[in-house]
Amino acid sequence: MFMTFSETRRCPKPIGAIRMFYRRFCRLQSLNSFMPFSSLLSHTVSMRVPTVLRISGLALLVLLARDEVPAQSAPRPAAFRTNAQMVLVPVTVTDHNGKTIEGLRAEDFKVFEDQIPQQIASFTGEDAPCSVGLVLDISGSMRDTLGAAKSVTESFFRTANSDDEFLLLTVSTQPEVTQGFSRDIAALEENIETAKPGGMTALIDTAYLGLNGMRKAKQPRRALLILSDGMDNYSRYSKSELMRAALEADVQVYTIIMGNSSDGTATGAALFRPSLVGKPIDQARSHVGPNLLEELSDRTGGLHFRARNDAEAKEAAIKAARALRNEYIIGYQPTGSGLSGKWHRVHVKSTVPKVNVYARNGYYAP
């Protein structure tokens, strides 16, 4: 069964002082229809938090938990212990050609949190099963490059092992989960092959929906792979809202910009939003996509590529797949400023000369 952006709950008519809250609630409901109204009113969740923290996930789990709490109950903080926490940082290392470097050891890395050196407590570098969310842009602006994007997915699937699972989302006027998490690559490829370009581009909304969907992932390594020309002209969510969700999610974002345009703008007909008859889209907004995607990758520890043709697109897919499979997981117990409720900046570097290190640059802790 397909899940579309428009499958929302019917909301009661807003009145008086709650009008602003209602508008915000309805917008959240449209992308996250399972969030109970009472949970939004009370800002309260009841959940157990594990003692091992992935570097990015806690705040998102708290804010988007499914447990419904009666609106009249008094707010309670989420259960959270800080005496034995471990932060896990996925790290990718490449040479100057973008080739993934394997075989490094814990002593080849240094980790800093809020500029304070951290002691590495755990280190792994072996291949592990992956959960990957594929965000495929099939909007009208991809008419000339959708074929190359489909080739990217084919190359990416060739690296899969039997335990990998994939989530497929498509970008158009409305974000859509075309296929939930599945190991059936043949079915995924069929869905991709039959996709036809058309519609507006709600790229930010689809990426946001993908981050939410990744909470159902079963494998320890999780990534979102976005294939797009980078343009957005129809999203409800803002760049800052997507960035916050990405920084709170336990997901690395890999991005591949398709096409020749350096700014990601579409060629051809002018852009119009149907709800604003005769009024063109703000062209400045349609330019932000490529820069946003690059920033998403940089800040979440993923890789970013620009592909001008089919050959570069396939090469990018292979590099992204290898990077995901050959990443290192570094664990440490934070020392210094503590975990309470703020952004903690993380910096990972390697003592090996002439390499590039990719890792999430921080996390929010409750």
pLDDT single digits (tens) 16-27:
444 444 445 444
pLDDT at 270: 30
Cα 40 to Cα 21, 33, 79: the distances in Å are 9, 12, 18
Q: What is the pLDDT of residues 199-222, one digit of tens each?
A: 999 999 999 999 999 999 999 899
Cα separation of the two ends of the chain: 35
pLDDT at 224: 98
pLDDT along the chain (366 residues), means of 10: 42 44 48 40 38 42 35 30 69 94 97 96 92 98 93 92 95 97 97 96 97 95 96 94 93 92 40 31 52 94 93 92 93 78 92 96 84
Q: What is the mean pLDDT of the chain?
A: 77
Q: What are φ and ψ of residue 2, in 5° steps?
A: -85, 145
**CATH 3.40.50.410 spans which residues of the chain?**
130-267+279-325
296/239 Cα distance (integer angstroms): 10
130-267+279-325 in CATH: which number? Answer: 3.40.50.410
276/74 Cα distance (integer angstroms): 43
**HSE (side-chain half, CA atoms, 13 Å) at 222:** 24
Q: What is the pLDDT of residues 273-308, one digit of tens each?
A: 333 333 334 444 454 568 899 999 999 999 999 998
129/141 Cα distance (integer angstroms): 34
